[in-house]
Amino acid sequence: MSKLKIKTGLITAIMFSLMAVPFQLAAEDKPKSFKDWGYKCETPKGFDQEICFIFQRVTNKENNKKIADVTVAYAPKVNKPIMVITLPLGVFLPSGIQIKVDDGKEAARAPFVQCITDGCQARVPLDDKLMGMMKGGNRLRIAFFTPQQKQLAFPISLSGFTAAMNSLKK
C-alpha cells in the first residue's frame, strides 16, 4: 500500500472519529469557547496522539433542529487544517457544497466524501487563501442541493474563528 493511501486513510479515520465528538460532550465537560466556536482536545480510540479541534453546530432557530456541524482540525503530520462539514442525510451528493465568505465570490467547492448516521460529510482543506478569507470575514455561506435540485444555503458565524484557529496545535 502506498504512503499516500496510508496517510489518507489515517486522516480519514481521525477526522471521522472527531466528527461526532463535539456534540456528545457531557454537561460537566464543557468545551472551551471562542465566541461562536468551541475548542476541545481528545484522543480518538485506537490512537495515542491527542487531537485538538474547533467546532460549531448550526441549528434552525425556529425548531432548534441541527442544520450542520462544522469541525476544523490538523490531522497528525499534516500542516494544513481540514474543515469537515456534516449536513443532514438526504442532500444531493453529486453537487457537493459551495462555500463563500461574506457573500463574496465562491471561495471553495468540496465533494461529499461519505455519509454516516449523523449526515453526509464534505471535507475542505483550508489553504492559505481560504484561511485568510475566513479569518478576515464575518460569516461563511454554505450552499448545497436537495435531491429535487433546490439549492439551500445557510450562514456559519466566523465570530471567534481566528482566536480558535490560533489556539489549535499543528
CATH number of domain containing 85: 2.60.40.1880
Cell numbers placing 4: 499516500
pLDDT confidence of residue 159 = 98
Which pTM was predicted?
Answer: 0.82
pLDDT confidence of residue 10 = 44
User: What does each of the 170 residues of the chain score in pLDDT, given as a tens digit?
Assistant: 434 343 444 444 444 444 444 444 444 467 799 999 999 998 888 888 888 999 999 998 899 999 999 999 987 777 889 999 999 999 999 999 999 999 888 999 999 999 999 999 999 999 999 999 999 999 999 999 999 999 999 999 999 999 999 999 76
Q: Could you give the number of structural domains in the chain?
A: 1
Which domain, by its residues, includes 126? 3-167
CA pair distance 3, 9, nearest whole angstrom: 10
